[in-house]
Amino acid sequence: MQNPTAPTDLDRRDPLASYRDRFIGAESPLVYFDGNSLGRPLRATGPRLAEFVEQEWGGRLIRGWDERWFLLPEVIGDDLGRVVLGAAPGQTVVGDSTTVLLYKAMRAAVAARPGRTEIVIDRDNFPTDRYVADGVARECGLTLRWIEVDTAAGVEADQLAAVVGPQTALVVLSHVAYRSAHLADMAGLTAIAHDAGALVLWDLSHSVGSVPLRLDECQADFAVGCTYKYLNGGPGAPAFVYVAARLLDEVSQPVQGWMGASDPFLMGPEYRPAPGIRRMLSGTPPVVGMLAMQDMLALIEEVGMDAVRAKSVALTEHAILLADERLPGVSVASPREADRRGGHVTLNHPAMRDVTAALWAEDVIPDYRDPHGLRLGLSPLSTSFAEVDAGLESVRRTLERLTA
Amino acid sequence: MQNPTAPTDLDRRDPLASYRDRFIGAESPLVYFDGNSLGRPLRATGPRLAEFVEQEWGGRLIRGWDERWFLLPEVIGDDLGRVVLGAAPGQTVVGDSTTVLLYKAMRAAVAARPGRTEIVIDRDNFPTDRYVADGVARECGLTLRWIEVDTAAGVEADQLAAVVGPQTALVVLSHVAYRSAHLADMAGLTAIAHDAGALVLWDLSHSVGSVPLRLDECQADFAVGCTYKYLNGGPGAPAFVYVAARLLDEVSQPVQGWMGASDPFLMGPEYRPAPGIRRMLSGTPPVVGMLAMQDMLALIEEVGMDAVRAKSVALTEHAILLADERLPGVSVASPREADRRGGHVTLNHPAMRDVTAALWAEDVIPDYRDPHGLRLGLSPLSTSFAEVDAGLESVRRTLERLTA
């Protein structure tokens, strides 16, 4: 394949090109198109973890809780709010997994809209969102109302308007669709749900860190997202949850743990939820797991989310251009308008399952999603244009070979 | 204070003395009596995490899931089963926090006993256990039935027998009481609950890694425990849950996530729980957070749980002896019979809150628990007898000074 480590003209003109060197593996010939499933580690991260073990855990021991760790879910939550979420402080905490936080947020939202009987979700939402919504609906005696969407698209305003009403407790939407990369209109869809008196839970897993977010400005109610994709937190890193300040006083979630209590170390007879966003916590914060994302947050803050997005758009534009020019029989399943598209590009072809397997064998690592999509996750700060060139050329040759 | 790093006769006769050197901080003059809140890191752990970031996360990237990480919750779960739980393979997984797993296990247990109306729990159980039970009872329309226990004791057979009956869905018990260190009779109490047709959930947080467990032999139904105390997994390390094989087919828990589904990557329309213990999972396994506990599990396996327990008993016996001999006005709140006592010792005195604060200021780190208990958590493999001598001498001098 072409050399993915030799800069192209586009790389030479890329003002963010040098940031790629901050990541482990930048020098390797591997082509990595799966940063939207698991981001590469920063070079700073290994030493950060080792230093944490030696100095902070090993040196401060239990005192670390008083000194720093107890507040870390809020501190990193506020960092997320400022750097990538467009959220004022006090509305975001880190903890649990995306799934557990989806559960807690859905239960909290449904409880905040008593008497309403439906949860609205689209048929192509990520599986864990659908599964959690299904479980919450069942146990709370609600009905799931499905929005049918084409797998190549996302939820549009008229589709949502057609199904929400006085019966709607909650609308669950993904900001960027995991298959197509369709970018939803957060402000517009939220307003439609609010007009019906419903709450909205946004899953930001496929957008946070690659698409600028304005949760406060969009009047989002709840949001949940994962940190191991574009936030490079490491495999299984803890998730985050955002609850709008205006809702915090009324919010209650069912996993009543000591770390979500108003005074955890009083260890009193009754659970009283903590004031503010801490009530979304349950167990002991996963400190070791939440360290790595701090490096990426610092980097994104240094670069700025708008510059990250500009690079992301340039990378996806370039991939689409190459697909159009060089991959006959392949269709672009992602929106062609940059402002409707997240940070990945999905290319459809009946042979893509086999293509993906063949590419992996030669160290070109895209993702595959049914029915026949090759998914190119182009992490803005760790992906070069040369990598896109080399990877798409491998796709071309492999397709040619497998369909000959 | 006395020199906690100079071995005493008891240290010289301790066959496990040398293991202390495997832990970070063994050479420091700090006296650490809080390993039952947060265990010291092993020296192997920092390099392990850094190597994981460089080689496995950075090198294998998304491929790591297929190659190793996907099964890690079960692999480490089975290691826990073999090394510390007395559980055959296929019944234990690692994930979430203790609180979230308590929630899932309680919901699963209650669902498996439909028509029964009560959850039994003791008034002195750990706060998060009580809070979760309270929340689960409320949302499932059940009543909490309290066992009143003295804070210096644990739940006895006659107390449990007096409250269980055909109305009891679930009994929630701690194996070692977090204040007194009272060690419950797991086999006996489980049998009493079973005779009433109820299920039992054991919280092992304060025993796992210091007291040998025989979950299978005791016919335990559910068990949950934390890994950052005697398993040295690091602050906020993921927890584990055990479900007896005989119950697994009927068990369902409410946080229906993709990683607990029968085929996560099929991403199908409906949630179907995975066969076996994986159905207790919900979100993406917290890989980075579960690495450190592996070092301690390997060490415990090398030493053997019975030898660990023998050292633990010797340490607590020694602490009680010193308290009796040298701490006038102090009462031992923990059971004096070794076979009724876990791995910590609680010493009561009205001044203990102030004593604890004063000790911390001179790098002697016990814990304090209301109403007036100084808690000495004596991690068997990282605590020396010299440390106990030095620490108790500091307690003596501090008490003398503060009560003069």
> Which positions in chain B touch A267 (Cβ < 8 Å)?
126-127, 369-370
On whether the CB atoms of residues A40 and A23 are closer than 8 A, the answer is yes
Structure tokens at A328: 């006959």
- pLDDT at residue A233, rounded to an integer: 98
Under an 8 A CB cutoff, do B130 and A41 touch?
no
- pLDDT at residue A1, rounded to an integer: 57
Q: Which of A91, A277, A113, A138 is nearest to A194 (CA)?
A: A113
- The 10s digit of each residue's pLDDT in A296-312 is 999 999 999 999 999 99
- The 10s digit of each residue's pLDDT in B197-222 is 999 999 999 999 999 999 999 999 99
Q: At what angle do helices B72-80 and B292-303 cross, to 10 degrees?
A: 30
C-alpha span between A42 and A54 (Å, rounded): 20
Indicate the average pLDDT of chain B: 96
Query: What is residue B261's DSSP assignment?
Result: B
Has residue B248 got a pLDDT over 60?
yes
- The 10s digit of each residue's pLDDT in A42-93 is 999 999 999 999 999 999 999 999 999 999 999 999 999 999 999 999 999 9
Nearest CA in chain A to B29: A59
Domains and CATH numbers, chain A: 9-32+304-402 (3.90.1150.10), 47-299 (3.40.640.10)
- pLDDT at residue B1, rounded to an integer: 57
Place of tokens 């899932």: B104
Q: Which amino acid is at A286?
A: P
CB atoms within 10 A of CB B145: 17
Q: Tell me how many degrees the CA angle A376-A377-A380 measures, rounded to the nearest 5.
A: 130
Cα–Cα distances in Å, from A153 out to A110, A161, A341? Answer: 27, 17, 10
Tell me, what's the ipTM? 0.97
Select from B30, B48, B53 the residue whose CB has the most chain A CBs within 10 Å, as the one to mutate to test that interface: B53
C-alpha span between A203 and A268 (Å, rounded): 35
Minimum-distance CB partner of A41 among B38, B57, B292:
B57
Indicate the average pLDDT of chain A: 96
Cite the active site residues of B: 126, 203, 228-229, 375
The mean per-residue pLDDT over the stretch B285-294 comes to 97
CB atoms within 10 A of CB B276: 17
Q: Mapped to the 3 state alphabet, what secondary structure does A327-346 carry?
A: CCCCEECCCCCHHHECCEEE
- pLDDT at residue B404, rounded to an integer: 83
Comparing B154 with B138, the larger pLDDT belongs to B138
Nearest CA in chain A to B233: A288
C-alpha span between B140 and B135 (Å, rounded): 8
Comparing A30 with A267, the larger pLDDT belongs to A30
Pairs of CB atoms within 8 A across A/B: 274
Give the three-class secondary structure for A91. coil
- Backbone torsions φ then ψ of A329, nearest 5 degrees: 85, -5
On whether the CB atoms of residues A104 and B282 are closer than 8 A, the answer is no
Q: How confident is the model at residue B38 (pLDDT cuts 50, 70, 90)?
A: very high
- pLDDT at residue B117, rounded to an integer: 98
Has residue B225 got a pLDDT over 90?
yes
- The 10s digit of each residue's pLDDT in A99-148 is 999 999 999 999 999 999 999 999 999 999 999 999 999 999 999 999 99
C-alpha span between A279 and A73 (Å, rounded): 12
Minimum-distance CB partner of B97 among A38, A49, A284:
A284
Has residue B152 got a pLDDT over 80?
no
C-alpha span between B315 and B383 (Å, rounded): 8
C-alpha span between A69 and A62 (Å, rounded): 10
Strand pairing report for A143-147 and A118-122? parallel
Residues 6+ apart with CB under 8 A from B289: A236, A286, A288, A289, B233, B234, B236, B237, B238
Place of tokens 């004031």: A275
Residues 6+ apart with CB under 8 A from B155: B122, B147, B149, B173, B184, B189
On whether the CB atoms of residues B294 and B301 are closer than 8 A, the answer is no
Nearest CA in chain A to B111: A139
